[in-house]
Amino acid sequence: MTIDAVTLAVLKGRLEQIADEMDATLFRTAFNPIIAEAHDASHGLYDAVTGDTLVQGKSGLPIFVGVMAFAVRAVVAKVARDGGLADGDVFLFNDPYDGGTHLSDFKLVRPYFRDGKLFCWLASVGHWHDVGGNVPGNYNPAATESFQEGMHIPPVKLVSAGRLNADIVDILKCNSRLPLSLYGDMSGQINALDLGIKRMDTLLDQYGAAVIAETFGELRARAAKLMRACIAELPDGTYSAEDWLDNDGIADVPLKIALDIVKKGETMSLDFSRSSPPCAGPVNIARSTAIASCYVALKHVFRDVPANAGCLEPISFVIPEISLLSAKAPKPVGGYTETILRVIDVVFQALAKAAPLAVNGCAYGTINALSLAGHRRDGRRWVMFSFFGGGLGGSPESDGLNHGNAPISTATIPPVEILEAAYPVLFNQWALRPDSGGAGRHRGGLGAVYELELLEEQADVFLFGERGRTAPPGVAGGKSAAMNRFTYPTANGTAQPPMASKMTGLHIAKGDSLRLETPGGGGYGSPSERPADAIARDLALGYVTQAAAARDYPAQIKDAAQ
């Protein structure tokens, strides 16, 4: 059987629509704003035997494209060991070493049967608001083992042949500070999978199982072919880059993320052997997470390659067992977001040497996970967890996006109105940060300034960020952006965290304010090539101050003054 190009395009759209509808179902039914507003979730279809990604939704997080294949494989392995797979089963787990990412991300995996045979898997992942551990919201910058980050659940049957296992639900709720939020998010994921099953039934009723199976194979083959063609256009050679994490939250020592890309013909090897070994603190990541972050970086460069397992076929990875990029239990991994952003940065920096016209400057490089927690006057517990935006890197075509989200995702920053409505805080400032974007022919995007005031009597504060010691670099001659800066009140005024970007055990009282100034993006191209009218526009809009313009663009400022 051979599918014609038109039918293949139609079926590709239909399959993607199924994943998109599952995304939308969860976004509209989740209880916590990190899923409902920020869209920190994802859905897809996966191979029945290998667990490889077949189709991914366009609204979910790209970082989950890679890791969810590993998550489904963990369920496939469990079924191979234990047997007993039935139509209507739903497996649940959050193992960060098997399924990737961290304990906050709960994966739900469901088999799809056709004519009594397993046809494929449907999977959902969402970031739950609180899953126990030492820190409300679970970003614990002082964790030295995963037990301090939250509950750790291996693959278990949440639903057996359509019947919910209430005992498992009770265990989950008992281990969360926000059990109602947990129950709502879990139910939303189950509903999303239910919808996916219905949509798959409709599709296969119309086209038949054989046609859809062939479509899966053809889409993967075409993705692999296109990726090989993209790689072939790069010059052969070795391209290296290295960047740094501020510290691991335990020892104030920088950690190196180093990459050597070896490109030969239609294949490419990504070698991380020169990176730091596992660390005591929670910036370790599992191998699956490291591979997924490389996928995201490569998709930024090779934009036309479809989102399925085929895009990684021409690529090999060298990640030593003794590496902070290949962590094993119980190494803490709660701050995985910060490390994968640095992995993306080194991929950008290395590829910029091979294909400078295809790569952007580095983005702001931290999600700045900020948690506040306390009790309301009536005794109810509240936990605010959110992430915050910054500047994206300048590109070969334009300046970087101001106040965007990190390149690991298509998520949105929770709106100020939602945060103020949900939690006892008031944002006195939510603004762009002047002079924060890296100078260049195309300037990096601006970071932001957030200043929030506590309205309740007291709260505990935790921050898990990065880029407080090493600025986001530019590429192709572009300059680095401004670094991260967090300040908090003390008896003698304001102070900054001793670890620069990480803080735990901070107590604030009603009326106290926290201030977060996020990094911008790195610039693209030499600042000497920036047009004078672009600099004048930056000055007029307040994006750049006169002093910074004179420092970064002296020739253009001098010419304008004459």
Under 8 Å between Cβ of 476 and 525: yes
pLDDT over 90 (residue 409): no
Once rounded to an integer, what is the mean pLDDT over residues 468-479?
A: 98
Residue 411: band (very low, low, confident or very high) from pLDDT cuts 50, 70, 90? low
pLDDT of res. 333: 96
User: Which residues constitute the domain of residue 121?
Assistant: 5-225
**Phi–psi pair at 443, nearest 5 degrees:** -65, 150
Does 106 map to a domain? yes
Report pTM: 0.95
Residue type, 116: G
Task: For residue 70, count other CB atoms closer than 10 A to its CB.
Answer: 22
Q: What percent of the chain has pLDDT over 70?
A: 99
Size of the chain, expressed as the number of residues it contains: 562
Longest CA pairwise span in the chain (Å) = 81
Does 42 map to a domain? yes
pLDDT of res. 305: 87
pLDDT of res. 306: 84
Number of domains making up the chain: 2
Does 427 map to a domain? yes
Does 104 map to a domain? yes
Does 197 map to a domain? yes
Residues 6 or more apart in contact with residue 497 via CB below 8 angstroms: 463, 468, 486, 488, 503
Nearest to 274 by CA among 261, 295, 257, 296: 257
Burial class (CB in 10 A: 0-12, 13-18, 19+), 42: buried
pLDDT of res. 98: 86
Residue 59: band (very low, low, confident or very high) from pLDDT cuts 50, 70, 90? confident
Sheet of strand 315-318, all strands in order from the earlier edge strand to the far edge: 237-245, 255-264, 267-271, 315-318
Is the four-CA dihedral 167, 169, 175, 177 of positive or negative sign?
Answer: negative
Choosing from 174, 197, 225, the residue where a domain stops is 225
Does 353 map to a domain? no
Choosing from 225, 240, 269, the residue where a domain stops is 225
Residue 38: band (very low, low, confident or very high) from pLDDT cuts 50, 70, 90? confident
> What is the helix (H) or strand (E) element at residue 216, kind and residue range?
helix 209-232
Under 8 Å between Cβ of 300 and 245: no
pLDDT over 80 (residue 561): no
Once rounded to an integer, what is the mean pLDDT over residues 125-139?
A: 93
CA atoms within 13 A on the CB side of 347: 28
Task: For residue 418, count other CB atoms closer than 10 A to its CB.
Answer: 14
Does 271 map to a domain? no
Once rounded to an integer, what is the mean pLDDT over residues 20-44?
A: 93
pLDDT over 90 (residue 315): yes
Residue 502: band (very low, low, confident or very high) from pLDDT cuts 50, 70, 90? very high
Choosing from 225, 248, 265, the residue where a domain stops is 225
Under 8 Å between Cβ of 295 and 341: no
- For 226-238, how does the pLDDT look when each residue is reduced to its tens digit (9 = 90+)? 999 999 999 999 9
Over 240-273, what HEC string results? EEEEEECCCCCCCCCEEEEEEEEEECCEEEEECC
pLDDT of res. 340: 96
Q: How far apart are the first and last CA of the chain?
A: 72
Burial class (CB in 10 A: 0-12, 13-18, 19+), 499: buried
Residues 31 and 180 in one domain: yes
pLDDT over 90 (residue 274): yes
pLDDT of res. 517: 98
Q: What percent of the chain has pLDDT over 90?
A: 89
**Alpha carbon distance 269, 100 (integer Å):** 21
Residue 410: band (very low, low, confident or very high) from pLDDT cuts 50, 70, 90? low
pLDDT of res. 408: 78
Does 294 map to a domain? no
pLDDT over 70 (residue 22): yes
What ranges make up the beta strands (E) of 376-432? 381-386, 425-432
Once rounded to an integer, what is the mean pLDDT over residues 202-229?
A: 96
pLDDT over 90 (residue 63): no
pLDDT of res. 414: 86
